[in-house]
Chain A
């Protein structure tokens, strides 16, 4: 058991946490009856995905991707020209690759917009829930189905 944790869980500890978080969200999406709780599940699911992406961009010992926080790196990189990306010259470069000083900016960009859009779409979902509640006086799925069925039987 201890071996399993040390060899399998520990190197990928972050991914294990995100998968478990995602399972919590997915479970509440499927199993919960209340629409608000389903939306909470969706938000948890989304957080897991966002954390997953951000953790991909992490580099050990790197700082935030703002060049000014690293002395004169910006000028050095510009003066060195395109050859500074060491991966082009050698497939397995030494640990002295200057790009290793900064976290990967791409996941940050992707998740930055995803968070704002997530808030906006959550707002739309809440608006829909509000209209459903106004119409049926409930947000429980089974009651909703019963009331909708009753409406159809009347018509």
Chain B
């Protein structure tokens, strides 16, 4: 019997069980659902606390940012560490340091975005687009408190701008602007910034990642503004790590770990 037949049976049974389960779910967009308002007669949902109180706690209008970087600071820190660990894992799996064992990649040295006339349109478009992308990415990081955005999104956009250089020209071109040494150092630096914002309150006698006490260092009026500014610092750390790791993943995957030529 075809194994795909058994696969279909297993998948259909799983699907039917799930469909049976969702019959009891609240309808789409119901503001009184347990996730949005809590169960009747029980405790109210955590999200209500965030919506009603987080502006008073942190002075950050974007609830997603305040929950991400303050209330769930541990979670976000270790998510960033996971991204960093993924980058290190790809480095360990692919990067062949000091030997050229059969990774057959023709090195197109002629098509950098500076030289070759055949790629002048691509090169010029890339030259015009990259600064705009990077400035917008910095805006997304810095303005994450007041509009949708934050460290993860801005970091991915910054990484994408370097990937765009690598796609339009070649990998050597992008690595000339953002070398392996610097992206590995920056990836660690981002984690260090985040962990530093965690350790600093400990030095001042509070808990890990309890930013409120940082008003003594940041000289803000009140612990709320100290939380707000610390969140910005933390988001910058996240953005640096995510940017570096996104480009590291692309550089290693597209050149099979040789970091030469590529595509």
Which residues of chain A have a CB within 8 Å of any CB of chain B? 8, 11-16, 19-20, 22-23, 26-27, 30-31, 55-60, 62, 64-68, 74, 77-78, 82, 84-85, 87-88, 91-93, 95, 97-100, 102, 104-109, 112-113, 115-117, 119-121, 123-124, 126-128, 130-131, 134
Contacts and interface: CB of A to CB of B under 8 A. Distances in A.
Max count, chain B CB within 10 A of own CB: residue among A12, A55, A92, A127: A127
Given A78-B56, A85-B48, A115-B152, 19 more contacts: A15-B28, A19-B15, A19-B22, A27-B7, A27-B11, A59-B31, A59-B36, A65-B51, A66-B63, A66-B64, A67-B62, A99-B48, A99-B52, A106-B50, A108-B64, A112-B64, A113-B76, A117-B82, A130-B253
B62 A65 contact: yes
A62 B51 CA distance: 12
B223 interface: no
Contacts of A88: 44
B193 to A, nearest CB: 17
B124 interface: no
Contacts of A97: 31, 37
A112 B68 contact: yes
A64 B89 CA distance: 36
B83 interface: yes
A4 B251 CA distance: 52
Contact of B79 (A64, A106, A116): A116
A54 to B, nearest CB: 11
A58 B29 contact: yes
A115 B156 CA distance: 11
B11 A23 contact: yes
B27 A11 contact: yes
Greatest chain B CB density within 10 A among A99, A115, A134 is at A99
A27 B82 CA distance: 28
A123 B245 CA distance: 10
A93 to B, nearest CB: 8
Contacts of A112: 64, 68, 150, 152-153
Interface string B194-209: 0000000000000000
B28 A113 contact: no
Given A31-B4, A127-B93, A84 B52 contact: yes
B90 A127 contact: yes
A51 B223 CA distance: 36
A146 B226 CA distance: 61
A91 B41 contact: yes
B27 A56 contact: no
Contacts of B98: none
Interface residues of B, number: 74
B221 interface: no
Main secondary structure of the interface of B (DSSP, over half): helix
- Rank and list the top 8 A-B pairs by shortest CB-CB distance, nearest first: A120-B86, A31-B7, A87-B44, A123-B249, A60-B29, A105-B63, A30-B7, A113-B79
Contacts of A92: 32, 40
A74 B89 contact: no
B218 interface: no
B17 to A, nearest CB: 10
A92 B94 CA distance: 57
B38 interface: yes
A23 B10 CA distance: 10
A57 B33 CA distance: 9
Contact of A12 (B23, B83, B153): B23
Contacts of B110: none
